[in-house]
Amino acid sequence: MRGSALSAYTQNSINIESPIKLVEMLFEGILKFTAQAKKSMLDDDIEKQVYWINRTIDIFSELISSLDYSGEQKNLAEYLNGLYTYQIKLLTEANIECEPQKLDIVMNVARGLIEAWKEETSKSA
Q: How far apart are the first and last CA of the chain?
A: 15
Q: How confident is the model at residue 116 (pLDDT cuts 50, 70, 90)?
A: very high
Note whether residue 2 is domain-resident. no
Task: Determine the structural domain holding residue 34 and report its residue range.
Answer: 18-124
Question: Please, what is the average pLDDT of the chain?
Answer: 88
Q: What is the pLDDT of residue 16?
A: 54
Q: What is the pLDDT of residues 18-58, one digit of tens each?
A: 788 888 999 999 999 999 999 999 999 999 999 999 999 99
Does residue 8 lie in a domain region?
A: no
71-87 residue pLDDT tens: 888 999 999 999 999 99
Find the CATH number of the domain harbouring 54: 1.20.120.340
pLDDT at residue 108, rounded to an integer: 98
Structural domain includes residue 9: no
If 0-12 CB within 10 Å is exposed, 13-18 middle and 19+ buried, where does residue 56 land?
Answer: buried
7 found inside a domain = no
Look at residue 109 and tell me if it is in a domain.
yes
Nearby residues of 69 by Cβ (< 8 Å), 6 or more positions away: 77, 78
- Is position 23 within any domain? yes
Structural domain includes residue 66: yes
pLDDT of residue 20: 83
How much is the pLDDT for 83?
A: 98
**Tell me, what's the pLDDT at 2?**
42
Look at residue 98 and tell me if it is in a domain.
Answer: yes
- Domain total in the chain: 1
pLDDT at 7 over 90: no
Mean pLDDT of 65-70: 91
- Average of per-residue pLDDT across 79-98: 98
